[in-house]
Amino acid sequence: MCKGYHIIPRIRHQHLDHDKCMTMLASAGIYLVLDVNSPLSNHHLNRYEPWTSYNLFYFENVFKIVQQFSFYNNTLGFLAGNEVINDPISASVSAPYIKAIIRDIKHYVSINSPRPIPVGYSAADDLNYRIPLAKYLECADNNLMESVDFYGVNSYQWCGDQTFYSSGYNILVNDYKGYSKPVFFSEYGCNEVLPRNFDEVPILYTNDMIDVFNGGLVYEFTQEANNYGLVEILPNGDVKLLRDFLQLKHKFESIPELDYNFIVEAMKENAKEIQMRIKQSQSTVPKCEVSYQNLDISRGVPDTIVDIMIDTGVNVERGKFVHLNKSEMQTKNIFYQPNGEVFNTVYEIDVVVDFEIDDENSNDKQRSHKSGTYNPQDVNDDPPNGKEKESLQSIDPNPETHKESPSSEPDQDDTNEHDEEKPNVIVETFHKVTDSVKNFWASIFT
């Protein structure tokens, strides 16, 4: 089964019941970065006439999605837009409206969500707008909520047999070096040269990039007409794993252990830059410039039209984790390898995260088994195949802390279910090397 750092799906429709799906994803350690827009009418910003779509109908749909998914704690962040600016016309009118949507969603989250959830933007990596749009969405003057919390880059410049330098990744890293917000690839995986070998994957997680980019999302999971899929969904619901899936899986499994000392030094350097910025402008967010190349921001950010909607909230069913029985954690569909042979795998969700489910019908909570593992099946069901799953720590806002090899299995020699829980070595190592800078970070913001 897929792990949380491999796939972060986008689910958009607020009128559907996502409770079971989100519970399955959470159990498997999978987080979501959620695009609040869709191609439906009144569900997206008109890039050429944004003033016509910046209206109450649009925000009612957006806020319903935000409200519903805020209550799933594996919702990692919201995308206020995706490639809205991609040509000179959209660049001449849309930038201030993107900033307004970011502001309004962040304001809604601050008032109505049970926890802070970051709001960002996913940008087409067009050289005409790469630096100016990133800087414009980063900046803020009087209202800090106009600044993105994170920035996604849709990059397809690594095509075929490339290197860090021939692909231009070195320039990409240099362009975003010093950016004050987290940056990651919101899409990557060029298919202009086939088959895709995903040689950029190990580079993305090495010292060449990890001090600037926070990983990325491969485009895309299911095969569509544009031929970017990792798997093909057959008419009967069965799944054919494509060659790209197996190659990507191999690349993820072969990523070397991160250089944590390098990460700590990069964190120290970033902290110094933030401290200097605070001294210079009394803010961690850069002040906006008068103009940005290739963007027209002369109209200014439009005033909000949703103050009342934000204050009162929208009426939508809150998302919640639910109890799932054994059959709901399994599938009867078959997985096939690219050559047509049946893929030898376990046809059930691999539960890797321990968490609780609120039971609205009683004062009790469904808690873990004695082994410390959350079991989404009924409490009377035996674990599948008689195996106890190894427990991991509760969902963490940082999915990087849960990285494991997809092929990891419980130790077959462990026969005592009361044995002490095995530590997450990656998490412990990262915490160990970052302890030395915690006080330094704290001193910056006090």
Whole-model pTM over 0.85: no
- Give the C-alpha separation, 329 to 240, whole Å: 20
pLDDT tens, residue by residue, 64-110: 999 999 999 999 999 999 999 999 999 999 999 999 999 999 999 99
pLDDT at 432: 46
If we measure between CA atoms, which residue out of 260, 253, 286, 261 comes closest to residue 405? Answer: 253
Q: Is the peptide bond before 265 cis (omega within 30 degrees of 0)?
A: no
Domain 18-295+439-444 has CATH 3.20.20.80: yes
Domain boundaries, the chain: 18-295+439-444
CB count in 10 Å sphere of residue 52: 10
Residue 30 burial class via C-beta count within 10 angstroms: exposed 0-12, middle 13-18, buried 19 and up:
buried
The pLDDT value given to residue 284: 82
Out of 83, 232, 348, 388, the active site residue is 83
Give pLDDT tens digits along the chain (446 positions).
333 333 444 444 556 899 999 999 999 999 999 999 999 988 999 999 999 999 999 999 999 999 999 999 999 999 999 999 999 999 999 999 999 999 999 999 999 999 999 999 999 999 999 999 999 999 999 899 999 999 999 999 999 999 999 999 999 999 999 899 999 999 999 999 999 999 999 999 999 999 999 999 999 999 999 999 999 999 999 999 999 999 999 999 999 899 999 999 998 888 888 888 778 877 889 999 999 999 999 999 999 999 999 999 999 999 999 999 999 999 999 999 999 999 998 899 999 987 777 665 333 333 333 233 334 333 333 333 333 333 223 334 343 333 333 333 434 444 444 444 444 444 454 454 445 444 544 444 44
Q: In sequence order, what DSSP letters do the residues of 22-43 get, joined into one string?
A: HHHHHHTT--EEEE---SSTTS
| Annotated catalytic residue 187 | yes
The SS3 assignment for 287 reads: coil
Q: In Å, how far are 72, 75, 326 from 351, measured between CA atoms? A: 17, 18, 12
pLDDT of residue 386: 35
Q: Which of 138, 146, 187, 390 is catalytic?
A: 187
Task: For residue 253, give every residue at least 6 positions away whose Cβ sits within 8 Å of its Cβ, in sequence order, or none.
Answer: 405, 406, 407
Residues 1 and 370: their CA atoms lie apart, in Å, by 24
Angstrom distance (rounded) from CA 349 to CA 337? 19
